[in-house]
């Protein structure tokens, strides 16, 4: 009987130690995550302010060139680079946020930075969303939208010349 009682007490102690360790580890993870969120201005990414895109120094040249571009007065970063529907916008923000934070944390990105295929499709849809009436005939040609994108010819419209930290793309 005494052995059973000691074994039960030991089991409770072991569980209590595990719970304390779990609480400490959870607290450490939450603290590091909270600090990172504040330090990286994480809540600012929920806004539509174009200044947010320059939170990372790698985007400074794109932000500066956008301020001087023909689209500065008419469109901000989110107008071109995010879907217009609610679910699509927040899904793209979440995915881009994850990929950007991973790339910048591990310094695993191309220089100059380059748009990914999924984001390029969003950009093309937004170009046509605003300018579709002007380019309807050209975009409606068979195979035309698959072969060319608006930025194929108009690459300097949003960001000026294609140059970044690594220089012009060759």
Q: Say whether both 128 and 76 belong to one domain.
A: yes
Q: Say whether both 76 and 120 belong to one domain.
A: yes
The number of CA neighbours under 13 Å toward the Cβ of 54 is: 14
User: Does residue 84 register a pLDDT over 90?
Assistant: yes
- At 13-24, the pLDDT tens digits run 678 888 999 999
Q: Say whether both 68 and 110 belong to one domain.
A: yes
Q: Say whether both 64 and 7 belong to one domain.
A: no
Residue with tokens 């679910």: 87
Q: Say whether both 70 and 10 belong to one domain.
A: no
Tally of structural domains, the chain: 2
Q: Domain for residue 67, yes or no?
A: yes
CB 34 within 8 A of CB 26: no
Q: Say whether both 33 and 108 belong to one domain.
A: no
- 9 or 27, higher pLDDT: 27
Print the domain residue range for 107: 51-159
Q: Domain for residue 16, yes or no?
A: yes
Q: Domain for residue 167, yes or no?
A: no
Say which residues have a Cβ less than 8 Å from residue 112's Cβ, sequence separation at least 6. Answer: 162, 163, 164, 165, 166, 167, 168, 169
Q: Domain for residue 46, yes or no?
A: no
How sure is the predictor about 165, in pLDDT bands with cuts at 50, 70 and 90?
Answer: very low
3-state secondary structure 63-88: HHHHHCCCCCCCCCHHHHHCCCCHHH
CATH number where 141 lies: 1.10.3820.10
Q: Say whether both 29 and 99 belong to one domain.
A: no
Give the ranges where 69-149 is alpha helix by DSSP (H).
77-81, 86-105, 117-140, 144-147
- At 14-73, the pLDDT tens digits run 788 889 999 999 999 999 988 878 887 777 777 888 888 887 777 888 888 888 888 888
Q: Say whether both 98 and 151 belong to one domain.
A: yes
Q: Domain for residue 166, yes or no?
A: no
């Amino acid at each position: 009987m005494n052995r059973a009682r000691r074994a039960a007490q030991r089991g409770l102690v072991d569980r209590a130690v595990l719970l304390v360790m779990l609480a400490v580890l959870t607290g450490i993870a939450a603290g590091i995550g909270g600090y990172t969120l504040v330090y990286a201005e994480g809540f600012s990414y929920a806004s539509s302010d174009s200044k947010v895109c320059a939170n990372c120094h790698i985007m400074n040249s794109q932000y500066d060139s956008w301020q001087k571009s023909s689209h500065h007065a008419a469109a901000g970063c989110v107008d071109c680079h995010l879907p217009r529907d609610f679910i699509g916008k927040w899904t793209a923000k979440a995915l881009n946020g994850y990929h950007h934070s991973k790339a910048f944390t591990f310094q695993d990105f191309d220089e100059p930075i380059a748009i990914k295929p999924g984001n390029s499709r969003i950009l093309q849809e937004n170009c046509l969303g605003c300018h579709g009436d002007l380019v309807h005939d050209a975009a409606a040609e068979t195979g035309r939208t698959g072969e060319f994108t608006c930025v194929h010819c108009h690459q300097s419209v949003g960001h000026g010349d294609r140059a970044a930290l690594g220089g012009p793309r060759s």
